Amino acid sequence: MDIPELSPADARACLTHGALLIDVREAHERATGMAEGALGIASGDLQAEPATHLPAADREIVLICQSGRRSMQAAVFLAGLGYTRIASVHGGTTAWGAAGLPLVQPLQSDAERDFNERYSRHLLLPQVGIEGQKRLLASRVLVLGAGGLGAPASFYLAAAGVGHLRIADDDVVERSNLHRQIIHTDASVGQPKVLSARARLLALNPGLDVEAVQARVTSHNIDALLEGVDVVLDGSDNFPLRYLLNDACIQHRIPLVYGAVERFSGQVSVFDAGRQRGVAPCYRCLFPEPPPAEFAPNCAQAGVLGVLPGMVGLLQATEVLKLLLGIGEPLVGRLLSFDALGMQFRQTRLAPDPACPLCAPGRAFPGYIDYAAFCSA
C-alpha cells in the first residue's frame, strides 16, 4: 500500500473534515509546539498498542512528526496491520510551522516544561533519553575540591542535571584562582569556595540539590562524605588526599574518577577496584608510593596553563556521566594522558597489582593511615 504524503494545508483540511491527526513525536519534542488539533501519542506507544489509541481501521488517520520520516514509518507499520485510510504529513511539524499554520503548546506542569526544555538535547540521545535523564536527576556525586578540576566538572555536572552534588573544600577564593577556576568570580574573592560554587551552580540549575561542605577532608569525615554517593570526582591537588580517597572508595565500593594537571599536561582515569577486585586497578596500583615532592609540584609551585584544569575537569565530568548512565567504556584500567603544547593524547593500559595492599582479592581493608606521614616518608 502506497502511503499518501499530505501537505500541511491538506492535512489541516482533513482534520476539519473529521480526520484524526496524531503527533508521533516523544513528549519532550512536542513540548516545543505541536500542530493545532493534533493528539500526542509517541510512535513507540502507538505501534506497541495501536488498538488502544486508534479507532476503527477505516477511520481517516493522519500522522505527523518533526520532519515526516517517523510519521511515514509509523504509517507503513499501521498499514501493515490493516489500517486502510492512513497518511503522513510531508515535512512534518517543521513544514506546518513554515506554512504559517497554528502551533500550540501542550498542557504541562512547570516541572515538566523545565525538564523537557532544559534537557531537550539529552532527551534526543538514545543512550540517555527520558529514563537516563531521570537517572541523572536521582544520582549523587561527591566532588572533592571546588578548584581547578572541581570548578569546570561541577559546572557541567550541574548543567547535565546530576540531581545531588556534594562539594567539599575548606579553601577560600583567591584572585590567583580565577584564571582557571571558572565557577568563581572576582566578587567571590575571600568567600569560601564551596559557597561561591553553590551559588553559581544553583543560578545555572535551580532545581538541583547542591550540598556545600566547608571542611578539610580527612580520615575522620571521609566516610560521612561518601554516604549515599554513586561516584566520586577527585579534584584534589595533593597526594595524601588522593591516597585517602582511593582507600575510602575501595572500602565503600564507589568508583573514583581521577584527574591531575601540571603545567601543560594532564591525566584522567577511573579507579573502580572496590566493585571489580582483581579486574580493575586502584590508584595505589598506579602509584604504590608517592613520588618525591620535587617531581610532583602543585600548581602554586609549578604554575599551570589556565585551560588545562578545564580540559581535565570536562573529561572527568564525561566519565562521571558515563558511569551514572551505564553507557560507553569508562577509563577503567586505562590512564589517559595529554600534552597540551603538542595537543597529543596517549593511553596507557593499567593492570591491577595482585599484591596491592588495598585492592588485591581477599585482602581485608587495613583501615585508614596517617597519609601525610606516608607521603612525606
Residue 2 is classified by DSSP as: P
- At 275, the amino acid letter reads R
Give the integer Cα–Cα distance in Å for 374 and 324: 33
Number of separate helices (H) and strands (E) present in the chain = 17, 15
- Count of C-beta atoms within a 10 Å radius of residue 45: 15
Residue 114 burial (10 A CB sphere; 0-12, 13-18, 19+)? middle
Q: Which helix (H) or strand (E) holds 368?
A: none
Give the integer Cα–Cα distance in Å for 250 and 17: 67
| Closest to 13 in 3D by CA, of 80, 87, 71 | 87
The catalytic residues are 299
What would the grid cell of residue 100 be?
A: 504559517
What would the grid cell of residue 99 be?
A: 506554512
> Virtual CA dihedral for 286, 255, 173, 312, nearest 10 degrees?
60
What would the grid cell of residue 256 be?
A: 573514583
Query: Any alpha helices (H) in the chain, and if so which ranges?
Result: 8-16, 27-30, 43-48, 50-53, 69-80, 92-98, 110-118, 120-123, 129-137, 150-160, 193-204, 222-226, 239-252, 283-286, 299-302, 307-325, 371-376
